[in-house]
Copies of this chain bind each other. A is one copy, B any other.
Amino acid sequence: MDGRVREHAEVLVDWSARVEAGDDVVVSVAEDAHELGVAVAEALGERGANVTTLYGSSEVSRAYLKGVETRVEEETGEGETDAVDADDFDSDPAVDRAIFEAADAYLRIGGGRNTTATAGVDGDTRRAYATARKGAREARMDTDWVSTVHPTRSLAQQAGMAYEEYREFVYDAVLRDWEALADEMARMKDILDSGEEVRVVTERDDAPDTDVTMSIAGRTAVNSAASVAYDSHNLPSGEVFSAPYDTEGEVFFDVPMTIDATRVRNVRLAFEGGEVVDFSAEAGEDALADVLDTDPGARRLGELGIGMNRGIDRFTDSILFDEKMGDTVHLAVGRAYDACLPEGESGNDSAVHVDMITDVSGDSRMAVDGEVVQRNGTFRWEEGFAAEAE
User: How far, in angstroms, from A93 to B98 measured CA to CA in the complex?
Assistant: 13
Instruction: Determine whether A123 belongs to the interface, using a CB cutoff of 8 Å to chain B.
Output: no
B39, B50, B93, B99: the one contacting A63 at CB < 8 Å is B39
Question: Which of A66-74, A144-152, A163-171, A382-390 is the contact stretch?
Answer: A66-74
B60→A24 contact, CB < 8 A: no
B48→A71 contact, CB < 8 A: yes
A57→B37 contact, CB < 8 A: yes
User: How far, in angstroms, from A54 to B37 measured CA to CA in the complex?
Assistant: 13
B37, B47, B103: the one contacting A55 at CB < 8 Å is B37
A45→B60 contact, CB < 8 A: no
B57→A54 contact, CB < 8 A: no
Question: Which of A26-34, A207-215, A244-252 is the contact stretch?
Answer: A26-34
B63→A42 contact, CB < 8 A: yes
Residues of chain B lying within 8 A (CB to CB) of residue A70: 42, 45-46
Using an 8 Å CB-CB cutoff, how does the interface string of A222-262 with B read, 1 for contact, 0 for none?
00000000000000000000000000000000000000000
Instruction: Determine whether A116 belongs to the interface, using a CB cutoff of 8 Å to chain B.
Output: no
Residues of chain B lying within 8 A (CB to CB) of residue A93: 24, 50, 52
A98→B96 contact, CB < 8 A: no
B90→A95 contact, CB < 8 A: no
Using an 8 Å CB-CB cutoff, how does the interface string of A68-110 with B read, 1 for contact, 0 for none?
1111000000000000000001100111111101110000000
In the assembled complex, the CB of A346 is this many whole angstroms from the nearest CB of chain B, namely 32
Instruction: Determine whether A172 belongs to the interface, using a CB cutoff of 8 Å to chain B.
Output: no
User: How far, in angstroms, from A190 to B57 measured CA to CA in the complex?
Assistant: 46
Take A45-B71, A60-B41 as given contacts and tell me if A95 and B29 are in contact as well, using a CB distance cutoff of 8 Å. Answer: no
User: Which residue of chain B is the closest to A71 with respect to CB atoms?
Assistant: B46
Residues of chain B lying within 8 A (CB to CB) of residue A34: 31, 57, 59-60
Instruction: Determine whether A158 belongs to the interface, using a CB cutoff of 8 Å to chain B.
Output: no
Q: Indicate how many identical chains form the complex.
A: 2
A94→B24 contact, CB < 8 A: yes
Interface residues on A, range: 35 or more
A41→B64 contact, CB < 8 A: yes
Instruction: Determine whether A22 belongs to the interface, using a CB cutoff of 8 Å to chain B.
Output: yes
Residues of chain B lying within 8 A (CB to CB) of residue A24: 93-95
Instruction: Determine whether A356 belongs to the interface, using a CB cutoff of 8 Å to chain B.
Output: no
In the assembled complex, the CB of A187 is this many whole angstroms from the nearest CB of chain B, namely 38
User: How far, in angstroms, from A34 to B62 measured CA to CA in the complex?
Assistant: 13
B45→A66 contact, CB < 8 A: yes
In the assembled complex, the CB of A282 is this many whole angstroms from the nearest CB of chain B, namely 38
User: How far, in angstroms, from A32 to B203 measured CA to CA in the complex?
Assistant: 53
User: How far, in angstroms, from A55 to B47 measured CA to CA in the complex?
Assistant: 21
Instruction: Determine whether A65 belongs to the interface, using a CB cutoff of 8 Å to chain B.
Output: yes
In the assembled complex, the CB of A139 is this many whole angstroms from the nearest CB of chain B, namely 11
Residues of chain B lying within 8 A (CB to CB) of residue A63: 38-39, 41-42, 45
Residues of chain B lying within 8 A (CB to CB) of residue A115: none
In the assembled complex, the CB of A19 is this many whole angstroms from the nearest CB of chain B, namely 12
30 contacts between A and B (CB under 8 A): A24-B94, A29-B60, A34-B57, A34-B60, A37-B57, A39-B63, A41-B61, A41-B63, A41-B64, A41-B67, A44-B64, A44-B67, A45-B63, A45-B64, A46-B67, A48-B71, A50-B90, A50-B93, A50-B96, A51-B60, A51-B64, A52-B54, A52-B93, A53-B54, A54-B55, A55-B55, A95-B103, A97-B102, A98-B98, A98-B99
